[in-house]
Chain A
Amino acid sequence: MSTSQELPSESWSGSAGARGPKVRSDCWVGLELAESGGLELELVSTVESYYGDGIRSLLRTGCEALGLVNVKLRVEDGGAYPWVMMARLEAAARDAGIAGEDWLPEVDAVATTTTSRDRFRRSRLYLPGNEPKYMINAALHGPDAIILDLEDSVAPSAKAAARLIVRNALRQVDFGVAERMVRINQGELGLGDLEFIAEHGCHLVLIPKVEDPEEVRAVDRRLSELTDAPVLLMPIIESAKGVINAHSIAEASERTVALTIGLEDYTADLGVQRTRDGRESLFARQTVINAARAAGLQAIDTVHSDVSDPEGLRAAVMEARGLGFEGKGCIHPRQIPIVHEAFLPSEAEVSKACKIVLAFRDAEARGLGVVSLGSKMIDPPVVKRALKTVEQAVQGGILIESWESEEGSA
């Protein structure tokens, strides 16, 4: 194995991935097409003594699958997982103009989870789509959803490679019970992104910077062409125009389950600073909440961008919850427990909700149309809210699942 001569990058017909001594769980692949000579493989790997044989075998298989016959291949590996290396080789081949077959990793049993329209979406953890190292353990931190991001966290030059990382991650990575979301790009690029995710176990697509309901309908139509899977949508409102059109955006597609807001872009659009108390965005946030509720959707708040400020995050979530948001974006795993805790109902709320739910069950059992607690009649929406509060309390671990029988026996 010769590692001494590194060719200048210009001389590669195609390349993809990350290189350098700091690369972890990723690799760089450079390939040079030739007329003859078969496969010439040069591998430098931090895990050579652990997986060197397996890596060479994987790369040979990949070249066969991608139709790379006469090729000089250089791989600089910093501990890439097999599905990552597969994505990088395929991306390099595409970069070199080889329009061969897809080289898909098997769909792992852990990657076949499903979702539902009305599940909790308290926390959603953003994961840069071209950074596999953050994906592998993301679910361990317990987010309600993970977002594989193809948009703002991916450099323009890496968009094509990131699609393959996201596709392979969807097929291979254990995201546990988290809902598997992908944030696509805007416009045509975003519609192109769908081809790499629709059929690969993506539960929900976040559409960025939506200003017009037609943008949502376009994504809906493309998804219907690509898959029978019930892929859900969550449009992100990030501009003044988007806020004005919030209601029609919310109602644009049957697939839509939630509406969310992005305040960095919104405040930039207004030409104002994003402040801590957020007065400049109150109108937008309330409009989005109102539009979402009017369309029967969840309203989900923006991210809290200061990772080193857990108290600020807690306060922001309490405020969001007070306004009517049901979820918050997270950019670091340590934000998740804080968000979940802050979305928990208070002890008094839980205790009141339990009483209402018991009264509701009692009325049901006795076939009564009206729920009453003491001398007070309870309206149906109050019952609905109580049921939701109880569910949140159980899921948040502050109320045991069998609370009804415990209460009943007491």
Chain B
Amino acid sequence: MSLQENSAGRQVPTEINGREAIPYMGVGGRKMDGHKAAPLIRSAADYPDSGDKRVDNLKAALVNAGLRDGMVISTHHHFRNGDLIANQIFDIAKELGVKDLVWFPSASFPCHEHLIQYLEDGTIHHIEGSMNGPLGAFCTAGKMRGMGVLRSHGGRWQAISDGDMHIDIAVIAAPTADAFGNATGDRGPSACGLLGFALADSLYADHVIAVTDNLVPFPCLPWQIQGNNVDQVVEVEQVGIPEKIVSGTTQITKSPDRLLIAEHCAKFVRDTGIMRDGFSFQAGAGGTALSFAIYLKEMMIQAGVTAGFVRGGSNKYLVEMLEEGLTPVILDGQTFDLDGVRSMRENAGHQNTSPFTSYNFHGKGNFASMLDVVILGATEVDTDFNANVVTHTDGRLLHGIGGWQNCLASKCTILAVPSFRNRIPVILDEVTTLCGPGELIDVIATERGLCINPRRTDLLEASKGSSVPILEIHDLKREVERICGGAPQRAKTTDELVAAIQWVDGTTIDCVRGLS
């Protein structure tokens, strides 16, 4: 495997898992032409006229789909840690003696630790998708045969639609579906809101299996997955564990320091005039981001300001803003709690979206670049405003990229991070793993104050007179090192590449090395 230095100065491979890999060429640096990938031609004549595509069980469906060695199998993560289907697919593959599969999820969760045995016994060759928790640790230890490939939500759509990743079989767990394969996420015992992360899979995979525990008479209304893209429908006892689907991500933080970060962000958005009639924002699912939305809501009420639209991750706080008239629309990419699910069913202004509409770089625009402000997290940032979201300073792979890279396209990107965590500095000279280039990151918001990217002279000017402390990032780094007792030692890594980090255009921005 040969390495090449990309335009961010990182050594990256020119081949990943047997495919040619293009090193990162800078923001907007890669120009593409030609056609996108296309799905197979299928004929209605080959499907039942009755529209009833049901088969007995998932195993029969996988056999019908021609499951064999080396295939790429995709699943979505709308059920988060309550997913019951992904593990079953590989249990069946193991039973059938199929080897070397590639799992291509839109994200993995701790419940997928079950799959480590299949990585070990050869059923699964490698995973291309966010790897959290135990799977991340497994990968960083260099135990996975292929390289992990981490993509943003938009980058996953790009990889599928450009043909970088070809899906052989997509299994789409659906909270409600009909026998034709129309499916929705907003109702049923395992309701998860929407199914946007499975949309590309349904359009581009060679074979699509819908799995549901709530089969309704045709037509399933509304539908986000169209039955015309679905080959087979399987009815099962249970697709997900409801209480784990809408899990604890929507707890507001009680940490006074994190509340302070959230308050700083909201005041900054107010004082710089970003908060004005018709503005838009997106805040993620973490405790700090949720608290930001709550502070901002209060400030909007005080100032009599209403938003033009907000982007979710929806939760009860965004739903309150919608139902109290503070925003006419939620453009929702994934639903984090039951209030979000209910609102999606009941409110016309609560619109389901997909990575195509919100994030895909190889489209004719997307929603992320239209956002006035977005609040994100990070594991590390450096004094050039570059940021890391997948590994910690010790080099362990612990988080996925999610929509993070895609959101950097917004007009003002704020990374809300503590300046250190339990003696571990977050502000460094150089990030361990580069996930987002500093030129797209405008503000680092910490409990000690905000650092504004010197490129954003407009924001520096607009923040004058704000009560939020504005700091120079090198000063903040010095202060953090004074508290923590110097700069931390760097991770001791091997030469082995264990995972690649893809940029939104399909190029490789960095990679993760094994730990020694």
Residues of chain A touching chain B, judged by Cβ–Cβ distance below 8 Å, are 24-25, 46-47, 49-54, 78-82, 108, 136-137, 140-141, 174, 332-334, 397
In the complex, how many angstroms separate the beta carbon of A4 from the nearest chain B beta carbon? 21
Contacts A49-B489, A50-B393 hold; do A79 and B422 have CB atoms under 8 A apart? yes
In this complex, the member of A49, A80, A108 whose beta carbon has the largest number of chain B beta carbons within 10 angstroms is A49
Docked Cα-Cα span, A136 to B484, in Å, equals: 10
B273 at the interface (CB under 8 A from A): no
Closest to A48 in B: B394
Decide yes or no whether B111 CB sits under 8 A from chain A.
no
Q: How far is the CB of A399 from chain B (nearest CB, A)?
A: 14
Closest 9 CB pairs of A and B: A50-B488, A79-B423, A79-B422, A333-B256, A49-B394, A82-B485, A24-B422, A137-B257, A47-B423
Residues in B neighbouring A333, C-beta threshold 8 A: 256, 260
Min CB distance A198 to B, Å, is 25
The answer to whether B256 touches A334, judged by C-beta atoms less than 8 angstroms apart, is: yes
Asked if A81 and B423 sit within 8 Å, CB to CB, the answer is yes
Q: Tell me, in angstroms, the Cα distance from A124 to B305 when the chains sit together.
A: 35
Q: Does B482 contact A (CB under 8 A)?
A: yes
Instruction: Choose from A81, A141, A332 the contact partner of B483 (Cβ within 8 Å).
Output: A81
A108 touching B482 by the CB < 8 A rule?
Answer: yes
* Cα-based distance from A52 to B50 in the complex (angstroms): 68
**Residues of chain B from 391 to 415 with CB closer than 8 A to chain A in the complex:** 393-395
In the bound complex, residues from chain B placing their C-beta under 8 Å from that of A25 are: 422-423
Specify the chain A residue showing the minimal Cβ separation from B421. A79
B259 within 8 A of A: yes
Encoded as 1 (CB less than 8 Å from any A CB) or 0, chain B from 467 to 493 comes to: 100000000000000111110110110
B448's nearest neighbour on chain A, judged by CB, is: A140
Instruction: Evaluate contact between A80 and B423: CB separation under 8 angstroms.
Output: yes
* Chain B residues within 8 Å of A79, by CB: 422-424
**A-B pair number, CB within 8 angstroms:** 59
- Chain B interface SS verdict (over half): loop
* A108 vs B422: C-alpha distance when bound (angstroms): 21
Chain A residue contacts of B423, Cβ below 8 A: 25, 47, 50-51, 79-81
Report Cα–Cα, A333/B484, bound state, in Å: 22
Shortest beta-carbon distance, A6 to chain B, in Å?
22
Nearest CB in chain A to that of B482: its residue: A108
Residue contact A81 to B485, C-beta cutoff 8 Å: yes
Q: Which B residue sits closest to A46, measured CB to CB?
A: B422
* Known contacts A25-B423, A137-B447; A49/B491 CB under 8 A: yes
> Are A51 and B422 in contact, with the CB atoms below 8 A?
no
Which of B424, B467, B491 has the most chain A CB atoms closer than 10 A to its own CB? B424
A334 touches B485 (CB 8 A): no
Tell me the bound Cα distance from A52 to B485 in angstroms: 12
With beta carbons under 8 angstroms apart, the residue of B260, B422, B486, B489 that contacts A140 is: B260
Specify which of A52, A137, A174, A332 is in contact with B489 (CB 8 Å cutoff). Answer: A52
Determine if B489 and A53 form an interchain contact, defined as CB atoms under 8 angstroms apart.
Answer: yes
Chain B, 367-408, contact with A by CB distance < 8 Å: what is the 0/1 string? 000000000000000000000000001110000000000000
Chain A, interface SS category = loop
Q: Are A51 and B488 in contact (CB under 8 A)?
A: yes
Q: A49-B394, A50-B394, A140-B260 known; 8 other A-B pairs, CB under 8 Å? A: A47-B488, A50-B489, A51-B484, A79-B422, A81-B485, A82-B485, A141-B260, A333-B256
Give the chain B neighbours of A47 by CB distance below 8 A.
422-424, 488
Interface residues of B in 474-514 (CB under 8 A from A): 482-486, 488-489, 491-492
Identify the closest chain A residue to B423 (Cβ). A79
Cβ–Cβ contact A78 & B422, under 8 A: yes
Known contacts A46-B422, A50-B394; is-contact A332 B256 (Cβ 8 Å): yes
* A332–B260 CA distance with the chains assembled, in angstroms: 13
- A334 to B260: give the CA distance in the assembly, Å: 9
**B residues in contact with A140, CB < 8 Å:** 257, 260, 447-448
Nearest opposing residue in chain A for B393, CB measure: A50
Residue numbers in A under 8 Å from B492 (CB-CB): 49
By a CB distance below 8 angstroms, the chain B residues around A174 are 483
The chain A residue sitting closest to B491, CB to CB, is A49
Q: Which residue of A lies closest to B449 (CB)?
A: A140
Alpha-carbon gap, A80 to B423, bound state (A): 7
Alpha-carbon gap, A79 to B423, bound state (A): 5
In the bound complex, residues from chain A placing their C-beta under 8 Å from that of B422 are: 24-25, 46-47, 78-79
Query: With a CB–CB cut-off of 8 A, which chain B residues contact A24?
Result: 422
Task: List the A residue with the shortest CB-CB distance to B260.
Answer: A140
Complex-state Cα separation, A140 to B483, whole angstroms: 14
Chain A residue numbers with a CB within 8 Å of B260 are 140-141, 333
Q: Contacts of A80 on B, CB cut-off 8 Å?
A: 423
Residues of B456-474 contacting chain A, CB below 8 A:
467
B446 to chain A: closest residue by CB: A140
The interface residues of chain A lying within 8 Å CB-to-CB of B395 are 49
For residue B263, which residue of chain A has the nearest CB?
A: A337
Q: Are A51 and B257 in contact (CB under 8 A)?
A: no
A49 to B448, CA, bound (A): 25
Contact with A along B423-452 (1 / 0, CB 8 A): 110000000000000000000000110000
Which of A25, A137, A332 gathers the greatest number of chain B CB atoms within 10 Å? Answer: A137
Binary per-residue interface labels of chain B (140-175) against chain A in the complex, 1 for a CB within 8 Å, 0 otherwise: 000000000000000000000000000000000000
Residues of A within 8 A of B485 (CB): 51, 54, 81-82
Chain B residue contacts of A334, Cβ below 8 A: 256, 259
Q: Assess whether B489 is in contact with A51, with CB atoms less than 8 Å apart.
A: yes
Cβ-defined partner of A81 (8 Å) among B484, B488, B491: B484
For A78, the chain B residues whose CB sits under 8 A away are 422
Q: Given the complex, which residues of B lie within 8 Å of A54, measured CB to CB?
A: 485-486, 489
Complex Cα–Cα for A78 and B260 (A): 24
Listed by A's residue number, 16 A-B pairs whose Cβ atoms lie within 8 Å are: A25-B422, A46-B422, A47-B423, A49-B489, A50-B393, A50-B394, A50-B423, A50-B424, A51-B488, A78-B422, A81-B485, A137-B256, A137-B257, A140-B257, A140-B260, A140-B448
Contacts of A53 in B (CB 8 A): 489
- Nearest B residue to A78 by beta-carbon distance? B422
Chain B residue nearest to A173 (CB atoms) is B483
- A residues less than 8 Å from B488 (CB atoms): 47, 50-51
Enumerate chain B residues within 8 angstroms of A46, measured Cβ to Cβ. 422
